[in-house]
Structure 1
Amino acid sequence: MKKILLLCYLILIITAGLFSLPVDPSDEIYRYLDLWRKKGYIVSLPAVRPYPHQVLIKLLGQVENCGNSRARKNARYFLAKLVNRPQVFAVSPYQESFISKAGHYSNTGVDFSADGLLKPWLSISARGGGLLESNSLISEDVLPYGVRLERDMYHHRDQAKIGNFEANPALVSIVAFGTEEFYFQTGFNRTAFGPFLGDSVVVSEDAPHAGHFSLTWNGKKANFTKLLLALTAQTNSGTGVYNQKYLSLTSLDWQFASWGQIGYVGSIVYGGYLDPVYFIPLTDLMYQTLVQGDKSNSHIGLYGSLYLPAYLTWDLIFYADDLHFNDIVTFNWNTRWKFVLQSALSWSPGGRIFKDLGLEYTMVTPYTYTHPAHSYEAVSAEETWLPDTVNYLNYTHAGQNLGVSLPPNSMRLVFKTWLTPSPELDLDLRGSW
């Protein structure tokens, strides 16, 4: 019996990567789109992922028209999965494990998925199922520093236990209405923002799944997105589960030349109420929150890419919480500026074996992503920090950073490479310091 279980376990490991869905922003299709962006086969990519089938089909068509023979072959492979008869029901195994000196952690399960372009203006992508999670140690004790689990699951009080495992449900889904140029998406899924795959500083694809509502205009050389995420709040001391916490985000980017793209992003985190004024598309969120009484946590930032000769690409995001204009113009650097910086230089030849090589640097200044939730009902007029007050203003979701998984006052250097020794084997090697 143990040999049979071990064989099933190995089969799960081998086949887990063979099944993928566009609803997951870490899906392999986004890695190929990023590679083709760097090689110039795609004009521009919308800043917010995941993309609906309508957009993916358009982007893959650009690769078929502009890419080399290898890129066209890969694009046709993805197109065949997207435009064929909708995959109304499919079953696939899943397995994720970590081993460290502290012990081990694993979750194993079966996914049931529904995915496809139902109408030219309607697409769906959903995955649900159950996961058996080892309860020998909590995941945070075993995971490498700055690494989060690939799957989200709902932990409830009455989960079934099977030996050393706990059974928990897991569900993500998204529905898109519209065309490849103008579309609305809603779902419960992970979301990613910006030119960085993996753990990024604005909205990370590694952050837990959340309610997603987005409206996007995907032009030929410019993109505009209005995003609302329904988050989960906790108290100042990190306890409890509370709804009515939101991230509202607006982004606009423009590919001004074949060798460069620049964009602006603004966001606010607020809660305890839902304010319709933040849905207005053509206005500035920071201005709106000042008019509304400045009871939210606002951020602004710039992002962009430079496409250099010899298949080199430089990507950058600068995302700030507190920057004071008077301090900047008077050259006063003795201030508590709160910002994150993410920069990467990559070389992307896109060959048969060697796909991509990159060096990425991330810096998180002190106090970034944090924000006290003051009790406005305090007897004293002073802003009072109370441990049991629900914090709707810090940049977290369900107790985790919504952005990069680094704490304030930290930095990280990542070296990564992507190899494909054979069509059946992808190697993603990385080291971080």
Structure 2
Amino acid sequence: MKNYPHNMRKIFVSLLVFLFGSVIFSQVAVDINDSFYSDAQGWELRGLTSTLPQLRPYPLKAVERILNDVIENGSERDSELAKEHYERIFSKPYNFYAEGSGKAKFSKEKYENESESSKTKAAIVNFGIGGDTTLHPLVSFAYKIGLFCQTKDFEEYSPLYTNIPADAIFDPTESGPFTNYVTWNANASVGTEAVYGTAGINRMGFGPFYGDGLALNDTGYHSANIAFNATSEKWSYASVYETIGATRNMGRDTSDNWLGANKYLAFHAIKWHSHEKFQVTYYENIVFGPHNNLSYFAPAPYMGLQNIGGANDNLQMGLLLEFKPVKGLEIAADFFADDIDLNALFKGNLDSKNRFGIQTGVIYAPSDSIFSKLSLNYTVVMPYVYAHWEYDDNKTGSFTGSTWNYQNYTNGGINIGSTLDPNSDKISLSAQINATKNLKITLLGNLIRHANGAEDFSDDEAAEYMLAPTGTYATNGTLYMSQMFSDETSSSGKHVDSAWEKLGFMTSDHKMYVAQLGFNAEYTFARTRAGRFSLCAGYTFEYVKNAGVNNNVYKGGLAYYSNTEADGTTYYAESESAYSTKKYTWENFKSSDYVQNAVKKAREQWVSNLYDCMNHYFSVSMKYSY
């Protein structure tokens, strides 16, 4: 599309508008953010249906089984809701949908001696066609194709640490004030409700904390994938093999050549659930490329499989514990291990290279209550979790910011796991309220902390970053900040000691604090022959202290002069004219007044650019479905 002439783009957009005419009621078997999945979790917690498949979305056979269980076993309220889902999903194989939204962000930023106010307004139009259909008792197909149009980039009108709800968000067309993205998801499923395989393109979700998982977050970007599920009375197994998008070591930039292919993710999980109240799941996921490794399809430990090829892929392991003391209540804890220093742990040293995430909390789905679900959880992501560098080749430890990265935990530059940056933690509270049959309200609250480990770099380490060419390293505390220095003289890079040898969690002087509180309300009118209409409104208040912590501390590019003398020794100085009077070896040069003054100035500049801000986000929309 990006090579089409401008008039062809207009024709293409016009054809889509004509074809899909009216324009988000989701297609359940391909869209994991459909309201069915949240309701299904509550039904499982209350014992109205048996164990749910581990990976979301589910195929139609599983969806039908869950709804039939609830219709048969549920209360009048549950049965009525399940019937509504059943009618929406199975009444016809297609569904036209349309949504028009208005967004507004009002901000007030306070710096040391002054303040600034700003406002951003955006319009979003989202329309298309989708459906779920059974082609054979063992075969089903789901699809959702449409157009997502916005007048501003998503980041400009959305709260921090929020993923865009649209897929296919690259290579847009332009029409008037709108940037238009063709969005599509589709998959086919073969099998029974308990044992099945699916293949297609869609988002994937895992874990009890919907939309907020450590391993596979429901709000992450979609992928082309092949998934398998087997569920029995006592155990279940699930796996997925995905093709995802690669970025450069520095992530997304302003160029047109920052997104590439040949990156893959494999995930599998085995769950023991023979006990009614206690369940244990062990899972693994591995990110790799540019090679394709079909052995990760095998239901065998990835640790063993990756060792066959030299253990060069990015492997994580996880343990999920779920306890259900009474019906409707779940207490869960998810431990996501990226890199663990076992030698240090055995010696009782916790302040070492331990890269992990923990998510724990409670989920409560009471029976016959206006509260359909309540959730309270705590998430912590240690420094450098999800962050992996990529060398230029397998012969040296050199890399640049433009080196393709096939191992960090992103898909198309969007986090696969938690939306949090490394070195962060969050307390989240949410409540889903069925105020009336037609009115649903969601209350949300988050308290977030984030620290940038680059602030803790030693003077010598900071000097390395300052003297590197601009764009070589990220020092912004995100998952693009690595634990290594480039080193073309060895087979692997040099360790950044303060990052490699220490835990470094929340040890920086300046931390970013984010408080978010908001609600979303949706009123759905009774269905008529013309279709179904909904009116939606939402508001989020956000206060950020020390905004800018996740900006680069050291941007590099400090000028210097070097010369190799007759004896083969290379010396350095701040300029050619200074070389004749004062020259240094590399280690001494890093400690020189010239370099250290630049380091000090960069730190002070970074601190001076921190500010506090207060943001108000408003949203109104109308949805239509036929």
| TM superposition shift of 1:19 | 5.2
SS of the counterpart of 2:241? strand
Deviations 1:373-411, CA, capped at 9 Å, x for gaps = 112255xx4x22322211000000111111111100001
**Any idea what the Cα deviations from partners look like across 1:215-241, whole Å, max 9, x if unmatched?**
111223321012111110011121411
Q: 2:158 aligned with 1:143, yes or no?
A: yes
- Aligned partner of 1:152 among 167, 172, 192: 167
Match 1:370 to one of 380, 387, 390: 387
For normalisation by structure 2, the TM-score amounts to 0.63
- Partner Cα distance (2:40, 2:80) in 1: 13
Q: Residue 422 of structure 1: which of 436, 457, 465 is its match?
A: 436
Match of 1:221 among 203, 212, 234: 234
2:404 to 371, 390, 401: 390
Which residue pairs with 2:175 in the alignment?
Answer: 161
| CA-to-aligned-CA distance 1:353-383 (integer Å, 9 cap, x gap) | 22122211111100000001112255xx4x2
Are residues 1:256 and 2:274 paired?
yes
Structure 2 matches for 1:316-355, cutoff 5 A?
Answer: 316-355=333-372
Q: Which amino acid aligns with 1:45?
A: L
1:275 corresponds to 2:289: no
Alignment of structure 1 residues 41-52 onto 2, 5 Å: 41-52=48-59
Match for residue 26 of structure 1? Answer: 33
Deviations 1:217-266 (A, max 9, x none): 12233210121111100111214111110111110112131112110101
What is the Cα deviation at residue 352 of structure 1?
4.3
Q: Distance in 1 between matches of 2:248 and 2:360?
A: 33
Identity of counterpart residues, as a percentage?
Answer: 24
Residue in structure 2 matched with residue 5 of structure 1 by the alignment: none
Name the residue aligned to 2:530.
Answer: none
How many angstroms does 1:24 deviate by? 0.8
Cα gap change, 1:317 to 1:125, in 2 (>3 Å): same
C-alpha distance 430-178 of structure 1, shift in aligned 2 (>3 A) = same
How many correspondences in the alignment?
409
**1:402 matched to 2:416:** yes
Instruction: Show the counterpart of 1:62.
Output: 69
**Whole-angstrom distance in 2 between the partners of 1:364 and 1:342:** 9
- Cα gap change, 1:301 to 1:16, in 2 (>3 Å): farther
- Does the CA contact (< 8 Å) of 1:350 and 1:356 recur in 2? no
Letter of the aligned partner of 2:376 in structure 1? Answer: L
Q: Deviations over 1:11-58 (max 9, x none)?
A: xxxx99555533111111101101112212223112110000011112
Q: Could you say which structure has the higher strand fraction? A: 1
Cα distance change on mapping 1:105 and 1:286 into 2, 3 Å: farther
Label 1:262 to 1:96 Cα distance change in 2 as closer, same or farther (>3 A). farther
Q: CA RMSD in A?
A: 2.0
CA gap 1:81/1:120 in 2 versus in 1, 3 angstroms: farther
One of 91, 94, 106 as aligned partner of 2:96: 91
**SS of 2:427's equivalent?**
strand
CA, structure 1 residues 107+270, in 2 after alignment: closer, same or farther (shift >3 Å)? same
Amino acid in the other structure paired with 1:57 = E
- 1:92 aligned partner, one-letter code: Y
Structure 1: runs of 5+ lacking an equivalent: 1-14
Are 1:414 and 1:432, in contact at CA under 8 Å, matched by a contact in 2?
A: yes
Alignment CA distance shift 1:177-1:365 (3 Å): same
Q: Equivalent residue of 2:274, what SS? A: strand
Paired position in structure 2 for 1:212: 225
Give the letter for the 1:90 counterpart: N
Cα distance in 2 between the residues matched to 1:364 and 1:331: 21
Which of residues 293, 310, 326 is equivalent to 2:310? 293
Q: Secondary structure at the match of 1:74?
A: helix
- With over 3 angstroms needed to count, the CA separation of the structure-2 counterparts of 1:403 and 1:122, relative to structure 1, is same
CA distance in 2, matches of 1:206, 1:40: 27
Name the amino acid aligned to 1:75: A
Which of 110, 135, 144 is residue 118 of structure 1 equivalent to?
135
Which of the numbers 174, 192, 207 marks the counterpart of 1:179? 192
The 2-side partners of 1:95 and 1:119 are apart by 36
Gap regions ≥5 residues in structure 2? 1-21, 108-118, 253-257, 448-626
2:189–2:198 contact (8 Å) kept in structure 1: yes
Would the aligned equivalents of 1:25 and 1:191 in 2 still touch at CA under 8 Å?
yes
Partner of 1:80: 87
For the residue of structure 1 that corresponds to 2:422, the secondary structure is coil
